[in-house]
Structure 1
Protein backbone atom coordinates (compact mmCIF):
# COMPACT_ATOMS: atom_id res chain seq x y z
CA UNK A 1 0.00 0.00 0.00
CA UNK A 2 2.77 2.44 0.87
CA UNK A 3 5.81 3.48 -1.09
CA UNK A 4 9.45 3.56 -0.11
CA UNK A 5 8.77 6.72 1.91
CA UNK A 6 5.77 7.85 3.95
CA UNK A 7 3.33 10.29 2.42
CA UNK A 8 4.39 13.91 2.67
CA UNK A 9 2.24 15.98 5.01
CA UNK A 10 0.52 17.98 2.26
CA UNK A 11 -0.17 14.82 0.24
CA UNK A 12 -1.58 13.02 3.29
CA UNK A 13 -3.90 15.92 4.07
CA UNK A 14 -5.23 15.96 0.51
CA UNK A 15 -5.75 12.18 0.55
CA UNK A 16 -7.54 12.13 3.92
CA UNK A 17 -11.11 12.66 2.56
CA UNK A 18 -10.58 9.88 0.01
CA UNK A 19 -9.51 7.42 2.69
CA UNK A 20 -12.23 8.48 5.10
CA UNK A 21 -14.76 7.72 2.35
CA UNK A 22 -13.47 4.16 2.03
CA UNK A 23 -10.47 4.43 -0.34
CA UNK A 24 -12.45 3.40 -3.40
CA UNK A 25 -10.12 3.49 -6.41
CA UNK A 26 -11.30 4.52 -9.87
CA UNK A 27 -11.78 0.98 -11.12
CA UNK A 28 -14.35 0.24 -8.41
CA UNK A 29 -16.88 2.43 -10.22
CA UNK A 30 -18.50 2.29 -13.63
CA UNK A 31 -17.24 4.61 -16.34
CA UNK A 32 -20.43 6.69 -16.06
CA UNK A 33 -19.88 7.03 -12.32
CA UNK A 34 -16.18 7.80 -12.38
CA UNK A 35 -16.21 10.54 -15.02
CA UNK A 36 -18.24 13.08 -12.99
CA UNK A 37 -16.36 12.10 -9.82
CA UNK A 38 -13.05 12.89 -11.52
CA UNK A 39 -14.37 16.20 -12.87
CA UNK A 40 -15.57 17.18 -9.39
CA UNK A 41 -12.24 16.19 -7.83
CA UNK A 42 -10.23 18.23 -10.32
CA UNK A 43 -12.52 21.21 -9.85
CA UNK A 44 -12.16 21.05 -6.07
CA UNK A 45 -8.44 20.32 -5.90
CA UNK A 46 -6.93 21.83 -9.05
CA UNK A 47 -5.16 25.12 -9.52
CA UNK A 48 -7.27 28.24 -9.58
CA UNK A 49 -7.59 29.51 -13.17
CA UNK A 50 -5.10 32.17 -14.22
CA UNK A 51 -6.46 35.07 -16.26
CA UNK A 52 -5.35 34.86 -19.90
CA UNK A 53 -5.76 36.91 -23.06
CA UNK A 54 -7.66 34.25 -25.04
CA UNK A 55 -9.24 30.89 -24.27
CA UNK A 56 -11.12 29.31 -27.17
CA UNK A 57 -12.40 25.86 -28.09
CA UNK A 58 -12.12 24.62 -31.67
CA UNK A 59 -13.19 21.43 -33.40
CA UNK A 60 -10.52 19.46 -35.23
CA UNK A 61 -11.89 16.47 -37.10
CA UNK A 62 -13.56 14.14 -34.59
CA UNK A 63 -12.21 15.84 -31.45
CA UNK A 64 -11.73 19.32 -30.06
CA UNK A 65 -8.90 21.44 -28.72
CA UNK A 66 -8.76 24.35 -26.31
CA UNK A 67 -6.41 27.18 -27.19
CA UNK A 68 -4.87 29.28 -24.41
CA UNK A 69 -3.01 32.50 -25.18
CA UNK A 70 -1.30 34.39 -22.33
CA UNK A 71 -1.49 38.14 -21.87
CA UNK A 72 2.26 38.48 -22.29
CA UNK A 73 3.08 36.42 -25.38
CA UNK A 74 6.81 35.61 -25.29
CA UNK A 75 7.42 33.69 -28.52
CA UNK A 76 6.03 31.52 -31.30
CA UNK A 77 6.53 28.41 -29.18
CA UNK A 78 3.30 26.47 -28.56
CA UNK A 79 2.76 23.87 -25.84
CA UNK A 80 0.73 20.87 -27.01
CA UNK A 81 -0.83 19.34 -23.90
CA UNK A 82 -2.43 15.89 -23.55
CA UNK A 83 -4.48 15.26 -20.40
CA UNK A 84 -4.42 12.16 -18.21
CA UNK A 85 -7.29 9.94 -17.13
CA UNK A 86 -6.32 6.53 -18.46
CA UNK A 87 -7.77 7.34 -21.92
CA UNK A 88 -11.17 6.83 -20.21
CA UNK A 89 -11.92 10.12 -18.43
CA UNK A 90 -10.61 13.66 -18.21
CA UNK A 91 -11.13 16.52 -20.63
CA UNK A 92 -10.18 20.13 -21.28
CA UNK A 93 -12.06 21.22 -18.14
CA UNK A 94 -10.34 18.82 -15.72
CA UNK A 95 -6.91 20.19 -16.64
CA UNK A 96 -7.94 23.77 -17.30
CA UNK A 97 -6.18 25.21 -14.24
CA UNK A 98 -2.94 23.39 -15.06
CA UNK A 99 -3.04 24.45 -18.71
CA UNK A 100 -3.69 28.07 -17.76
CA UNK A 101 -0.78 27.96 -15.30
CA UNK A 102 1.58 26.57 -17.95
CA UNK A 103 0.56 29.24 -20.47
CA UNK A 104 0.78 32.09 -17.97
CA UNK A 105 4.02 30.78 -16.42
CA UNK A 106 5.88 30.38 -19.71
CA UNK A 107 4.42 33.12 -21.91
CA UNK A 108 3.63 30.50 -24.56
CA UNK A 109 0.33 29.66 -26.16
CA UNK A 110 -0.96 26.22 -25.24
CA UNK A 111 -3.21 23.83 -27.12
CA UNK A 112 -4.97 21.19 -24.98
CA UNK A 113 -6.15 18.14 -26.91
CA UNK A 114 -9.62 16.97 -25.87
CA UNK A 115 -9.20 13.58 -27.52
CA UNK A 116 -11.89 10.93 -27.82
CA UNK A 117 -12.27 8.62 -24.83
CA UNK A 118 -12.62 4.88 -24.30
CA UNK A 119 -14.52 2.61 -24.16
CA UNK A 120 -16.63 4.44 -26.74
CA UNK A 121 -13.49 5.08 -28.79
CA UNK A 122 -10.88 2.34 -28.28
CA UNK A 123 -7.22 2.36 -29.25
CA UNK A 124 -5.86 3.95 -31.35
CA UNK A 125 -8.46 6.78 -31.17
CA UNK A 126 -6.71 8.89 -28.51
CA UNK A 127 -3.32 8.31 -30.15
CA UNK A 128 -4.62 9.22 -33.60
CA UNK A 129 -6.31 12.36 -32.28
CA UNK A 130 -3.05 13.55 -30.73
CA UNK A 131 -1.18 12.83 -33.96
CA UNK A 132 -3.85 14.82 -35.83
CA UNK A 133 -3.55 17.68 -33.34
CA UNK A 134 0.22 17.83 -33.90
CA UNK A 135 -0.32 17.94 -37.67
CA UNK A 136 -3.06 20.58 -37.27
CA UNK A 137 -0.80 22.75 -35.15
CA UNK A 138 1.97 22.39 -37.74
CA UNK A 139 -0.33 23.73 -40.49
CA UNK A 140 -0.29 27.53 -40.48
CA UNK A 141 -3.42 27.54 -42.67
CA UNK A 142 -5.47 25.38 -40.28
CA UNK A 143 -7.34 28.32 -38.76
CA UNK A 144 -5.98 28.09 -35.22
CA UNK A 145 -4.59 31.62 -35.32
CA UNK A 146 -1.20 30.52 -33.99
CA UNK A 147 2.20 30.89 -35.60
CA UNK A 148 4.10 27.93 -34.21
CA UNK A 149 7.84 27.88 -34.84
CA UNK A 150 8.42 25.05 -32.34
CA UNK A 151 6.37 22.95 -29.97
CA UNK A 152 6.67 21.66 -26.42
CA UNK A 153 4.98 18.28 -25.90
CA UNK A 154 3.44 17.88 -22.47
CA UNK A 155 1.10 15.52 -20.65
CA UNK A 156 0.33 13.76 -17.39
CA UNK A 157 -0.16 9.99 -16.96
CA UNK A 158 -1.84 8.70 -20.15
CA UNK A 159 -1.15 12.15 -21.57
CA UNK A 160 2.52 11.66 -20.76
CA UNK A 161 2.43 8.46 -22.80
CA UNK A 162 0.86 10.36 -25.71
CA UNK A 163 3.49 13.11 -25.47
CA UNK A 164 6.31 10.54 -25.41
CA UNK A 165 4.77 8.80 -28.42
CA UNK A 166 4.72 12.06 -30.40
CA UNK A 167 8.33 12.80 -29.44
CA UNK A 168 9.45 9.40 -30.69
CA UNK A 169 7.50 9.68 -33.94
CA UNK A 170 8.48 13.25 -34.82
CA UNK A 171 12.26 13.47 -34.71
CA UNK A 172 14.03 16.30 -36.60
CA UNK A 173 15.13 13.89 -39.33
CA UNK A 174 11.50 13.48 -40.34
CA UNK A 175 11.13 17.16 -41.15
CA UNK A 176 8.26 17.91 -38.79
CA UNK A 177 7.61 20.97 -36.61
CA UNK A 178 10.62 21.20 -34.28
CA UNK A 179 10.08 19.90 -30.75
CA UNK A 180 11.82 22.14 -28.23
CA UNK A 181 11.10 20.12 -25.08
CA UNK A 182 8.97 17.35 -23.64
CA UNK A 183 7.21 17.42 -20.28
CA UNK A 184 6.31 13.96 -18.97
CA UNK A 185 4.39 13.98 -15.70
CA UNK A 186 4.23 10.48 -14.13
CA UNK A 187 3.87 9.03 -17.64
CA UNK A 188 2.62 5.61 -18.68
CA UNK A 189 5.55 4.06 -20.54
CA UNK A 190 5.23 0.25 -20.26
CA UNK A 191 1.91 -1.56 -20.67
CA UNK A 192 3.44 -4.89 -19.74
CA UNK A 193 2.54 -3.66 -16.21
CA UNK A 194 5.04 -5.93 -14.51
CA UNK A 195 7.29 -3.56 -12.57
CA UNK A 196 7.80 -3.76 -8.81
CA UNK A 197 5.73 -0.61 -8.23
CA UNK A 198 2.70 -2.49 -9.60
CA UNK A 199 3.00 -4.99 -6.77
CA UNK A 200 3.67 -2.23 -4.25
CA UNK A 201 0.81 0.20 -4.94
CA UNK A 202 -2.31 -1.93 -4.75
CA UNK A 203 -4.71 -0.09 -2.42
CA UNK A 204 -5.29 3.18 -0.61
CA UNK A 205 -5.02 5.53 -3.61
CA UNK A 206 -7.30 6.61 -6.46
CA UNK A 207 -4.84 5.02 -8.92
CA UNK A 208 -3.54 1.56 -8.06
CA UNK A 209 -2.33 -1.41 -10.09
CA UNK A 210 -5.81 -2.77 -10.73
CA UNK A 211 -6.93 0.64 -11.95
CA UNK A 212 -4.26 0.59 -14.64
CA UNK A 213 -5.37 -2.89 -15.72
CA UNK A 214 -8.97 -1.60 -15.88
CA UNK A 215 -7.88 1.32 -18.06
CA UNK A 216 -6.04 -0.97 -20.44
CA UNK A 217 -8.99 -3.36 -20.68
CA UNK A 218 -11.29 -0.45 -21.56
CA UNK A 219 -8.99 1.23 -24.09
CA UNK A 220 -6.88 -1.45 -25.75
CA UNK A 221 -8.69 -4.13 -27.81
CA UNK A 222 -7.95 -7.73 -26.92
CA UNK A 223 -5.05 -9.12 -28.90
CA UNK A 224 -3.30 -5.77 -29.37
CA UNK A 225 0.47 -5.87 -28.95
CA UNK A 226 1.03 -4.03 -25.67
CA UNK A 227 4.74 -3.75 -26.42
CA UNK A 228 4.14 -1.51 -29.47
CA UNK A 229 6.11 1.74 -28.95
CA UNK A 230 2.98 3.91 -29.17
CA UNK A 231 1.58 2.06 -26.14
CA UNK A 232 4.90 1.35 -24.38
CA UNK A 233 7.34 4.18 -25.18
CA UNK A 234 9.89 2.55 -22.89
CA UNK A 235 10.21 -0.19 -25.53
CA UNK A 236 10.46 2.23 -28.45
CA UNK A 237 13.45 3.76 -30.19
CA UNK A 238 15.07 6.71 -28.45
CA UNK A 239 18.08 8.63 -29.71
CA UNK A 240 19.94 11.83 -28.91
CA UNK A 241 17.85 13.78 -31.45
CA UNK A 242 14.92 13.81 -29.05
CA UNK A 243 14.16 17.10 -27.34
CA UNK A 244 15.25 17.76 -23.74
CA UNK A 245 12.83 16.24 -21.27
CA UNK A 246 11.62 16.84 -17.76
CA UNK A 247 10.24 13.66 -16.20
CA UNK A 248 8.45 13.84 -12.86
CA UNK A 249 7.64 10.64 -10.99
CA UNK A 250 6.02 10.00 -7.61
CA UNK A 251 6.66 7.15 -5.19
CA UNK A 252 3.09 6.11 -4.37
CA UNK A 253 2.23 5.23 -7.93
CA UNK A 254 2.13 1.96 -9.90
CA UNK A 255 3.75 3.93 -12.74
CA UNK A 256 6.75 5.01 -10.65
CA UNK A 257 9.27 2.43 -11.86
CA UNK A 258 8.48 2.75 -15.56
CA UNK A 259 8.68 6.53 -15.38
CA UNK A 260 12.07 6.32 -13.71
CA UNK A 261 13.18 3.76 -16.31
CA UNK A 262 12.08 6.04 -19.15
CA UNK A 263 14.03 8.98 -17.73
CA UNK A 264 17.07 6.69 -17.57
CA UNK A 265 16.53 5.47 -21.13
CA UNK A 266 16.36 9.02 -22.46
CA UNK A 267 19.52 10.00 -20.57
CA UNK A 268 21.42 6.92 -21.72
CA UNK A 269 20.50 7.76 -25.32
CA UNK A 270 22.09 11.20 -24.95
CA UNK A 271 18.92 13.24 -24.35
CA UNK A 272 19.18 16.06 -21.81
CA UNK A 273 16.94 14.96 -18.92
CA UNK A 274 15.76 16.63 -15.75
CA UNK A 275 14.18 14.05 -13.46
CA UNK A 276 12.35 14.85 -10.24
CA UNK A 277 11.32 11.84 -8.16
CA UNK A 278 8.99 12.80 -5.31
CA UNK A 279 9.02 9.77 -3.04
CA UNK A 280 6.35 11.02 -0.64
CA UNK A 281 3.69 11.85 -3.23
CA UNK A 282 1.01 9.97 -5.15
CA UNK A 283 -0.32 9.90 -8.70
CA UNK A 284 -2.59 12.89 -9.33
CA UNK A 285 -0.23 15.49 -7.86
CA UNK A 286 -0.73 17.90 -10.77
CA UNK A 287 -4.51 17.66 -10.87
CA UNK A 288 -4.48 18.35 -7.11
CA UNK A 289 -1.93 21.17 -7.20
CA UNK A 290 -4.47 23.60 -5.78
CA UNK A 291 -4.40 21.79 -2.41
CA UNK A 292 -0.93 20.19 -2.45
CA UNK A 293 1.83 22.77 -2.14
CA UNK A 294 4.42 20.50 -3.77
CA UNK A 295 2.17 20.24 -6.83
CA UNK A 296 2.16 23.99 -7.34
CA UNK A 297 5.91 24.06 -6.74
CA UNK A 298 6.43 21.42 -9.44
CA UNK A 299 4.25 23.37 -11.90
CA UNK A 300 6.58 26.32 -11.35
CA UNK A 301 9.58 24.04 -11.94
CA UNK A 302 8.04 22.81 -15.20
CA UNK A 303 7.51 26.40 -16.33
CA UNK A 304 11.15 27.21 -15.59
CA UNK A 305 12.27 24.15 -17.55
CA UNK A 306 10.16 25.14 -20.54
CA UNK A 307 11.43 28.73 -20.48
CA UNK A 308 15.04 27.54 -20.27
CA UNK A 309 14.67 25.25 -23.26
CA UNK A 310 12.70 27.63 -25.44
CA UNK A 311 14.93 30.64 -24.99
CA UNK A 312 12.25 32.55 -23.10
CA UNK A 313 13.21 35.22 -20.54
CA UNK A 314 12.16 34.56 -16.96
Structure 2
Protein backbone atom coordinates (compact mmCIF):
# COMPACT_ATOMS: atom_id res chain seq x y z
CA UNK A 1 0.00 0.00 0.00
CA UNK A 2 1.03 3.59 -0.65
CA UNK A 3 2.19 5.95 2.09
CA UNK A 4 -1.08 7.92 1.84
CA UNK A 5 -3.12 4.74 2.25
CA UNK A 6 -1.05 3.70 5.27
CA UNK A 7 -1.50 7.14 6.82
CA UNK A 8 -5.23 6.99 6.15
CA UNK A 9 -5.51 3.58 7.84
CA UNK A 10 -3.47 4.82 10.79
CA UNK A 11 -5.66 7.91 11.10
CA UNK A 12 -8.80 5.77 11.03
CA UNK A 13 -7.46 3.53 13.80
CA UNK A 14 -6.57 6.56 15.92
CA UNK A 15 -10.05 8.03 15.35
CA UNK A 16 -11.67 4.73 16.36
CA UNK A 17 -9.54 4.52 19.52
CA UNK A 18 -10.47 8.06 20.54
CA UNK A 19 -14.20 7.43 20.03
CA UNK A 20 -14.11 4.09 21.86
CA UNK A 21 -12.21 5.56 24.80
CA UNK A 22 -14.71 8.40 25.17
CA UNK A 23 -17.66 6.00 24.93
CA UNK A 24 -16.21 3.77 27.63
CA UNK A 25 -15.57 6.79 29.85
CA UNK A 26 -19.21 7.90 29.54
CA UNK A 27 -20.67 4.44 30.15
CA UNK A 28 -18.43 3.71 33.14
CA UNK A 29 -19.21 6.98 34.91
CA UNK A 30 -22.98 6.67 34.41
CA UNK A 31 -23.24 2.93 35.11
CA UNK A 32 -21.46 3.41 38.43
CA UNK A 33 -24.44 5.56 39.44
CA UNK A 34 -27.33 4.02 37.48
CA UNK A 35 -26.45 0.33 37.24
CA UNK A 36 -25.21 -2.02 34.57
CA UNK A 37 -27.08 -2.03 31.26
CA UNK A 38 -28.77 1.33 31.90
CA UNK A 39 -26.67 3.41 29.49
CA UNK A 40 -26.00 3.42 25.74
CA UNK A 41 -23.46 5.92 24.36
CA UNK A 42 -22.20 6.77 20.88
CA UNK A 43 -19.38 9.21 20.13
CA UNK A 44 -18.38 10.63 16.75
CA UNK A 45 -15.10 12.56 16.73
CA UNK A 46 -13.66 14.81 14.04
CA UNK A 47 -9.87 14.92 14.23
CA UNK A 48 -7.40 17.31 12.59
CA UNK A 49 -4.47 15.39 11.13
CA UNK A 50 -2.89 18.42 9.41
CA UNK A 51 0.73 18.94 10.41
CA UNK A 52 1.51 22.61 11.08
CA UNK A 53 4.80 24.12 12.30
CA UNK A 54 5.48 27.87 12.69
CA UNK A 55 8.09 30.16 14.21
CA UNK A 56 6.94 33.02 16.42
CA UNK A 57 8.97 36.09 17.46
CA UNK A 58 7.49 38.05 20.35
CA UNK A 59 8.80 41.52 21.31
CA UNK A 60 8.12 43.24 24.60
CA UNK A 61 8.60 47.03 24.25
CA UNK A 62 8.04 47.58 27.96
CA UNK A 63 11.17 45.62 28.82
CA UNK A 64 13.60 47.71 26.72
CA UNK A 65 17.01 48.58 28.19
CA UNK A 66 19.79 50.88 26.90
CA UNK A 67 22.42 48.80 25.20
CA UNK A 68 24.74 51.66 24.08
CA UNK A 69 24.84 55.47 24.16
CA UNK A 70 26.80 57.92 21.97
CA UNK A 71 26.87 61.69 22.69
CA UNK A 72 28.67 64.22 20.47
CA UNK A 73 29.10 67.92 21.41
CA UNK A 74 30.67 70.63 19.20
CA UNK A 75 31.54 74.19 20.26
CA UNK A 76 33.30 76.89 18.16
CA UNK A 77 34.17 80.57 18.78
CA UNK A 78 35.53 83.08 16.10
CA UNK A 79 34.95 86.26 13.99
CA UNK A 80 32.53 86.33 11.13
CA UNK A 81 34.41 87.32 7.96
CA UNK A 82 33.49 90.65 6.24
CA UNK A 83 30.47 90.33 4.02
CA UNK A 84 28.97 87.67 6.24
CA UNK A 85 29.03 84.00 5.78
CA UNK A 86 30.29 82.86 2.38
CA UNK A 87 27.53 82.01 -0.03
CA UNK A 88 24.96 84.18 1.70
CA UNK A 89 25.81 87.44 -0.10
CA UNK A 90 24.68 86.07 -3.40
CA UNK A 91 21.23 85.64 -1.93
CA UNK A 92 21.03 89.26 -0.61
CA UNK A 93 19.51 91.89 -2.97
CA UNK A 94 21.78 94.67 -4.22
CA UNK A 95 22.07 97.66 -1.86
CA UNK A 96 21.39 95.57 1.26
CA UNK A 97 24.23 94.93 3.65
CA UNK A 98 24.57 91.54 5.27
CA UNK A 99 23.76 91.20 8.92
CA UNK A 100 26.56 91.62 11.40
CA UNK A 101 29.47 93.91 11.54
CA UNK A 102 32.70 93.00 9.95
CA UNK A 103 35.03 91.37 12.37
CA UNK A 104 32.26 90.61 14.98
CA UNK A 105 32.93 87.57 17.22
CA UNK A 106 30.59 84.48 16.82
CA UNK A 107 30.00 81.41 19.07
CA UNK A 108 28.34 78.12 18.03
CA UNK A 109 27.39 75.02 20.12
CA UNK A 110 26.22 71.66 18.68
CA UNK A 111 25.43 68.41 20.49
CA UNK A 112 24.09 65.06 19.26
CA UNK A 113 23.00 62.03 21.36
CA UNK A 114 22.51 58.47 20.00
CA UNK A 115 20.94 55.73 22.15
CA UNK A 116 20.70 52.04 21.16
CA UNK A 117 18.06 50.02 23.05
CA UNK A 118 17.85 46.25 23.63
CA UNK A 119 14.25 44.96 23.41
CA UNK A 120 13.30 41.58 24.92
CA UNK A 121 12.52 39.07 22.16
CA UNK A 122 11.20 35.50 22.44
CA UNK A 123 11.54 33.08 19.53
CA UNK A 124 9.32 29.97 19.65
CA UNK A 125 8.94 27.02 17.31
CA UNK A 126 5.30 25.95 17.55
CA UNK A 127 4.07 22.56 16.28
CA UNK A 128 0.35 21.81 16.34
CA UNK A 129 -0.47 18.32 17.66
CA UNK A 130 -1.46 15.88 14.91
CA UNK A 131 -4.77 14.10 15.45
CA UNK A 132 -6.19 16.76 17.76
CA UNK A 133 -9.96 16.69 18.33
CA UNK A 134 -11.63 19.44 16.32
CA UNK A 135 -15.27 18.56 17.10
CA UNK A 136 -17.28 16.02 19.10
CA UNK A 137 -20.80 14.72 18.57
CA UNK A 138 -22.12 12.66 21.49
CA UNK A 139 -25.46 10.87 21.88
CA UNK A 140 -26.39 9.16 25.16
CA UNK A 141 -29.53 7.17 26.01
CA UNK A 142 -30.40 6.47 29.65
CA UNK A 143 -33.01 3.95 30.75
CA UNK A 144 -35.68 4.88 33.27
CA UNK A 145 -36.52 3.34 36.64
CA UNK A 146 -38.50 0.15 37.27
CA UNK A 147 -40.26 0.61 40.60
CA UNK A 148 -43.23 -0.89 42.42
CA UNK A 149 -44.68 -4.38 42.71
CA UNK A 150 -45.28 -5.33 39.97
CA UNK A 151 -42.47 -3.21 38.54
CA UNK A 152 -43.67 -0.23 36.49
CA UNK A 153 -41.50 1.98 34.29
CA UNK A 154 -40.94 5.53 35.54
CA UNK A 155 -39.07 8.23 33.57
CA UNK A 156 -36.25 10.15 35.18
CA UNK A 157 -36.71 13.75 36.32
CA UNK A 158 -35.42 16.76 34.40
CA UNK A 159 -33.09 17.62 37.29
CA UNK A 160 -31.48 14.20 37.08
CA UNK A 161 -31.10 14.44 33.30
CA UNK A 162 -29.41 17.84 33.64
CA UNK A 163 -26.93 16.30 36.09
CA UNK A 164 -26.23 13.43 33.70
CA UNK A 165 -25.64 15.94 30.89
CA UNK A 166 -23.02 17.73 33.00
CA UNK A 167 -21.37 14.39 33.78
CA UNK A 168 -21.15 13.54 30.07
CA UNK A 169 -19.73 16.97 29.26
CA UNK A 170 -17.03 16.50 31.88
CA UNK A 171 -16.25 12.97 30.69
CA UNK A 172 -15.57 13.97 27.06
CA UNK A 173 -14.03 17.42 27.66
CA UNK A 174 -16.87 19.46 26.19
CA UNK A 175 -15.80 22.68 24.40
CA UNK A 176 -18.54 25.01 23.24
CA UNK A 177 -16.17 27.16 21.16
CA UNK A 178 -15.17 24.03 19.27
CA UNK A 179 -18.79 23.44 18.27
CA UNK A 180 -19.28 20.22 20.26
CA UNK A 181 -22.77 18.70 20.29
CA UNK A 182 -23.92 16.57 23.24
CA UNK A 183 -27.42 15.12 23.58
CA UNK A 184 -28.61 13.06 26.56
CA UNK A 185 -32.12 11.55 26.45
CA UNK A 186 -34.20 9.37 28.78
CA UNK A 187 -35.60 6.45 26.74
CA UNK A 188 -37.25 3.24 27.89
CA UNK A 189 -35.15 0.27 26.80
CA UNK A 190 -36.76 -2.79 25.21
CA UNK A 191 -35.91 -5.60 27.62
CA UNK A 192 -38.08 -8.34 26.10
CA UNK A 193 -35.10 -9.99 24.42
CA UNK A 194 -33.06 -9.72 27.61
CA UNK A 195 -35.82 -11.34 29.66
CA UNK A 196 -36.13 -14.13 27.09
CA UNK A 197 -32.39 -14.73 27.33
CA UNK A 198 -32.64 -14.92 31.11
CA UNK A 199 -35.43 -17.53 30.84
CA UNK A 200 -33.39 -19.57 28.35
CA UNK A 201 -30.34 -19.43 30.61
CA UNK A 202 -32.37 -20.52 33.64
CA UNK A 203 -33.92 -23.39 31.69
CA UNK A 204 -30.52 -24.48 30.41
CA UNK A 205 -29.11 -24.42 33.94
CA UNK A 206 -32.03 -26.54 35.18
CA UNK A 207 -31.50 -29.08 32.40
CA UNK A 208 -27.78 -29.26 33.12
CA UNK A 209 -28.46 -29.75 36.80
CA UNK A 210 -31.08 -32.41 36.07
CA UNK A 211 -28.63 -34.27 33.85
CA UNK A 212 -26.07 -34.24 36.64
CA UNK A 213 -28.73 -35.48 39.04
CA UNK A 214 -29.67 -38.22 36.60
CA UNK A 215 -26.08 -39.34 36.33
CA UNK A 216 -25.79 -39.53 40.11
CA UNK A 217 -29.05 -41.45 40.48
CA UNK A 218 -28.18 -43.91 37.72
CA UNK A 219 -24.74 -44.44 39.18
CA UNK A 220 -26.20 -45.01 42.64
CA UNK A 221 -28.72 -47.54 41.34
CA UNK A 222 -26.05 -49.32 39.36
CA UNK A 223 -23.84 -49.58 42.45
CA UNK A 224 -26.70 -50.98 44.51
CA UNK A 225 -27.53 -53.58 41.89
CA UNK A 226 -23.88 -54.43 41.40
CA UNK A 227 -23.43 -55.00 45.12
CA UNK A 228 -26.64 -56.94 45.74
CA UNK A 229 -26.56 -59.08 42.61
CA UNK A 230 -22.84 -59.67 42.09
CA UNK A 231 -20.65 -58.69 45.03
CA UNK A 232 -22.86 -60.15 47.77
CA UNK A 233 -23.18 -63.60 46.12
CA UNK A 234 -19.42 -63.68 45.63
CA UNK A 235 -18.85 -62.81 49.28
CA UNK A 236 -21.32 -65.47 50.37
CA UNK A 237 -19.65 -67.98 48.13
CA UNK A 238 -16.19 -67.14 49.49
CA UNK A 239 -17.32 -67.39 53.13
CA UNK A 240 -19.41 -70.51 52.80
CA UNK A 241 -18.19 -73.84 54.24
CA UNK A 242 -16.29 -75.87 51.71
CA UNK A 243 -17.49 -79.40 51.46
CA UNK A 244 -15.11 -81.97 50.05
CA UNK A 245 -16.77 -83.78 47.24
CA UNK A 246 -15.31 -86.93 45.89
CA UNK A 247 -13.90 -86.64 42.45
CA UNK A 248 -16.06 -87.70 39.62
CA UNK A 249 -15.08 -88.58 36.19
CA UNK A 250 -17.04 -85.76 34.51
CA UNK A 251 -19.70 -83.13 35.14
CA UNK A 252 -23.16 -84.34 34.95
CA UNK A 253 -26.12 -82.80 33.14
CA UNK A 254 -27.27 -81.13 36.36
CA UNK A 255 -23.96 -79.31 36.67
CA UNK A 256 -24.23 -77.91 33.16
CA UNK A 257 -27.79 -76.83 33.86
CA UNK A 258 -26.58 -74.93 36.95
CA UNK A 259 -23.92 -73.11 34.94
CA UNK A 260 -26.45 -72.16 32.28
CA UNK A 261 -28.83 -70.95 34.98
CA UNK A 262 -26.13 -68.71 36.49
CA UNK A 263 -25.39 -67.22 33.07
CA UNK A 264 -29.08 -66.46 32.52
CA UNK A 265 -29.28 -64.86 35.97
CA UNK A 266 -26.30 -62.57 35.30
CA UNK A 267 -27.74 -61.62 31.90
CA UNK A 268 -31.08 -60.73 33.51
CA UNK A 269 -29.28 -58.57 36.09
CA UNK A 270 -27.44 -56.64 33.38
CA UNK A 271 -30.63 -56.20 31.36
CA UNK A 272 -32.54 -55.01 34.42
CA UNK A 273 -29.82 -52.48 35.26
CA UNK A 274 -29.89 -51.13 31.70
CA UNK A 275 -33.69 -50.76 31.82
CA UNK A 276 -33.50 -48.91 35.13
CA UNK A 277 -30.81 -46.60 33.76
CA UNK A 278 -32.90 -45.84 30.66
CA UNK A 279 -36.01 -45.20 32.76
CA UNK A 280 -34.19 -42.80 35.06
CA UNK A 281 -32.65 -40.93 32.12
CA UNK A 282 -36.05 -40.57 30.44
CA UNK A 283 -37.61 -39.36 33.68
CA UNK A 284 -34.88 -36.73 34.10
CA UNK A 285 -35.34 -35.47 30.53
CA UNK A 286 -39.13 -35.24 30.87
CA UNK A 287 -39.17 -33.42 34.21
CA UNK A 288 -35.77 -31.91 35.05
CA UNK A 289 -37.20 -29.35 37.49
CA UNK A 290 -38.88 -32.00 39.64
CA UNK A 291 -35.76 -34.17 39.56
CA UNK A 292 -33.63 -31.25 40.72
CA UNK A 293 -36.02 -30.50 43.58
CA UNK A 294 -35.96 -34.17 44.66
CA UNK A 295 -32.18 -34.19 44.66
CA UNK A 296 -32.00 -30.97 46.70
CA UNK A 297 -34.47 -32.41 49.22
CA UNK A 298 -32.48 -35.64 49.43
CA UNK A 299 -29.24 -33.73 50.00
CA UNK A 300 -30.84 -31.58 52.72
CA UNK A 301 -32.07 -34.71 54.50
CA UNK A 302 -28.64 -36.27 54.19
CA UNK A 303 -26.66 -33.32 55.61
CA UNK A 304 -27.82 -33.69 59.27
CA UNK A 305 -26.97 -37.39 59.23
CA UNK A 306 -23.49 -36.69 57.93
CA UNK A 307 -22.92 -34.10 60.67
CA UNK A 308 -23.91 -36.65 63.31
Compute the TM-score of the two structures, normalised by the length of structure 1.
Answer: 0.17
Structure with bigger RCO (C-alpha 8 Å, 6+ apart): 1
- Mark the structure with the bigger radius of gyration: 2
The structure in which a higher percent of residues are helix is: 2
The structure in which a higher percent of residues are strand is: 2
